[in-house]
Amino acid sequence: MKGLLCNTKKISPRISVAIALFILFAISLTPITVNAAGNTIKLTVKQSYSASSFSAAETFIYRLKPLDPDSPMPTGSTEEGYRFAISGITGVEVGPVTYSNQGIYYYELWQQIETEKANVIYDRSIYSIEVHVDESLNAYVIVKDKIGIKLSEIVFTNSRDTGGWVDPPTPTPPPIETPPPSESPPPTNPPVTEPPPVSPTPPETVDPTEELNDGRTPSGGATPDTDPDPDEEIIIDDGNPPGSGLEPDDGGDRPGVDSPRTGDDSRTTLDIALFAAGSLLVISALLILVLGKKKARQGD
């Protein structure tokens, strides 16, 4: 015994590390049988959650899918795999699955979240399942997590976020108040009041015999003489001196020349006087201006 201990102490560190790695490798190859009976297996899948956060019959959906479409599957499977549900805190058996050929069959199992529930934190683990069938058609199962660690059971644990979450109440719209009908609703359009009829103003009656200020009748002619004197000489004023022999000037052929009319002589005389006074004022202003400039030059 003493010699054995002495030999053990002489083992190098490299050999010790190699022995440890071999032991770990051997353990990883050790199969875990999950309800295997010959060439038929059943997988036990468990569901867990806090009963205080969920109802006792909370239901969640799971799916088992083969990586090879030719791998055996439970009855009721489709191209999308085998879908099953678990209600409450319990476990179910998936299967049976029967194998007729030797080989290794690979599957994946996960929780299928079809409609997310409020405040639920789902277990999104994906389990890798290997079914090894030997020459004698004896099947055994190895279960691993996503990083390759071998597991002894399949458990999905869901939880609920209780961090003060409260489902908001559904708002109720306020009732629409309908005003009571009035006894006499006001008219939509005000009544139109027609203006009173306007009596036409009769036109003024002009007396044709009434003379205007210039001695003519309203029609423009001279006042007719109801009792002319046959011995009275009629003199026609043509604008030329008597005996000049010039043609009468009607004032219409030369622009700027107006024929004098009876009663305009006093106005013409006033115009000439105003023109002369204005001319004297202009000449006086020019003389004052010239004299002022001469005095300014003499002063310089």
pLDDT digits (tens, 9 = 90+) for 41-70: 999 999 998 777 776 678 999 999 999 999
Give the position of tokens 């799916």: 63
**Alpha carbon distances (Å) from 139 to 28, 103, 132, 148:** 17, 9, 5, 20
Of 158 and 194, the one with more pLDDT:
158
Average pLDDT, stretch 159-179? 66
The pLDDT tens digits of the residues spanning 248-266 come to: 555 454 444 444 455 556 6
Distance CA 27, CA 24 (A): 5
pTM here is 0.45
Buried b (16+ CB within 10 A) or exposed e, 212-224: eeeeebeeeeeee
Percent of the chain with pLDDT over 70: 55
Pairing of strands 154-157, 40-48: parallel
Q: Is residue 211 predicted with pLDDT exceeding 70?
A: no
Give the Cβ contact number of residue 65 at 10 Å.
19
Cα angle 206, 208, 209 (rounded to 5 degrees) comes to: 120
